[in-house]
Amino acid sequence: MTTPTAIVHRDSSALATATAARVAIRLVDAQSARGDASIVLTGGGAGIAVLAELARTPARDAVDWSRLDVWWGDERFLRSGDSERNETQAREALLDHVGVDPERVHPIPASDGRDGADPGLAAERYAAELARAAPPESGSPIPAFDVCLLGVGPDTHVASLFPEQPALHEDERAVVAVHDAPKPPPTRISLTFQAIRSAREVWLLASGAGKADAVRQALGGAGPVQVPAAGAYGRSRTLFLLDADSAAGLPPEFASRGQR
Ligand SMILES: O=C1O[C@H](COP(=O)(O)O)[C@@H](O)[C@H](O)[C@H]1O
């Protein structure tokens, strides 16, 4: 477990711009070290704003998009192309505008995919896809993602791990079907904590006053079942990337380390 660091930006626009640059640098560094890079994308307001900024930033030209594996942390289990799918929004914001290799883009299956409307089978299929991408020598069924982006919901959810739900107790599978999510749509597919924590770096994004209480709880010592954002961390680094409004309730030890 890595101790989180909070970085506070002036407003939501500065948060998106700075995080987009940070993602580009992270991917360039990973590609310099290993040739390839991998990223886990998130949905949500701040997450999609970062992707749209990444499509615009000149730093995007430093990334070799053809040598990037793109995964998702969660998906709303809807038909392919539905505008509420995180995949659809990520394609529109970023993936349609950069030279990604389609074979290396790994969307979570849709409800009209090969498994039909069975989210359990779709979750198993995604877990198998992750396992195929994991280096055999690692002994892990999950690749070591270079960076995993997670939006923080106002109720402290991350990916589709919602407070007090059964998925939070999953400690064997990398991917689960989520039923009865409190935020629509009710049926979703999500990486589990185990999969999220296999990432080298986990970056949690929040913007707006509506997220201040969630951020306060996540960094205030709460448990991951009550506050899922408190249970998401990376193997080498965990960042909370915030705007000033979402950082309004930061515990003092984090507030003093914030940047503006
Ligand atoms: O439904 C979801 O919500 C969260 C956060 O969304 P936001 O609009 O409150 O920022 C997101 O992280 C997750 O990927 C998504 O499926």
Domain ranges of the chain: 5-255
- Ligand 1 close to Cβ of residue 132 (< 6 A): no
Instruction: Report cis status (omega within 30 of 0) of the bond before 185.
Output: yes
- Ligand 1 close to Cβ of residue 190 (< 6 A): no
By percentage, how much of the chain surpasses pLDDT 90?
95
User: Which atom of ligand 1 is nearest the CA belonging to 211?
Assistant: 9
Q: What is the per-residue pLDDT across 162-218, written as a single tens digit (0 to 9) for each?
A: 999 999 999 999 999 999 999 999 999 999 999 999 999 999 999 999 999 999 999
Report the alpha-carbon distance of residue 181 to residue 134 in Å, rounded.
Answer: 29
Averaged pLDDT, 17-36: 98
**pLDDT at res. 256:** 57
Nearest CA-CA partner of 70 in 50, 46, 94, 92:
94
- Ligand 1 close to Cβ of residue 141 (< 6 A): no
Query: Is residue 178 classed as helix, strand or coil in its secondary structure?
Result: strand
Q: How far is the CA of 182 from the centre of ligand 1 (A)?
A: 12
Supply the residue whose CA is at minimum distance from atom 7 of ligand 1. Answer: 44
Q: How far is the CA of 222 from the centre of ligand 1 (A)?
A: 20
How sure is the predictor about 55, in pLDDT bands with cuts at 50, 70 and 90? Answer: very high
Report the alpha-carbon distance of residue 186 to residue 203 in Å, rounded.
Answer: 25
How sure is the predictor about 1, in pLDDT bands with cuts at 50, 70 and 90? Answer: confident
Distant-in-sequence, close-in-space partners of 253: CB < 8 Å, separation ≥ 6: none
Q: What is the per-residue pLDDT across 95-130, written as a single tens digit (0 to 9) for each?
A: 999 999 999 999 999 999 999 999 999 999 999 999
**pLDDT at res. 183:** 97
- Greater pLDDT, 260 or 154: 154
How sure is the predictor about 258, in pLDDT bands with cuts at 50, 70 and 90? Answer: very low
Q: Is the ipTM of this complex over 0.95?
A: yes
Residue 134: both structure tokens together: 């994991």
Report the alpha-carbon distance of residue 16 to residue 159 in Å, rounded.
Answer: 19
**pLDDT at res. 189:** 98
Let me know if domain 5-255 sits in CATH 3.40.50.1370. Answer: no
Residue from 19, 41, 42, 202 to probe ligand 1 pocket by mutation (most atoms less than 8 Å from CB): 42
Q: How far is the CA of 45 from the centre of ligand 1 (A)?
A: 7
Report the alpha-carbon distance of residue 33 to residue 17 in Å, rounded.
Answer: 25
Indicate yes or no: pTM above 0.90: yes
- Ligand 1 close to Cβ of residue 183 (< 6 A): yes
Report the alpha-carbon distance of residue 51 to residue 248 in Å, rounded.
Answer: 25
Q: What is the per-residue pLDDT across 210-251, written as a single tens digit (0 to 9) for each?
A: 999 999 999 999 999 999 999 999 999 999 999 999 999 998
Q: How far is the CA of 151 from the centre of ligand 1 (A)?
A: 5
Q: How far is the CA of 16 from the centre of ligand 1 (A)?
A: 15
Supply the residue whose CA is at minimum distance from atom 12 of ligand 1. Answer: 151
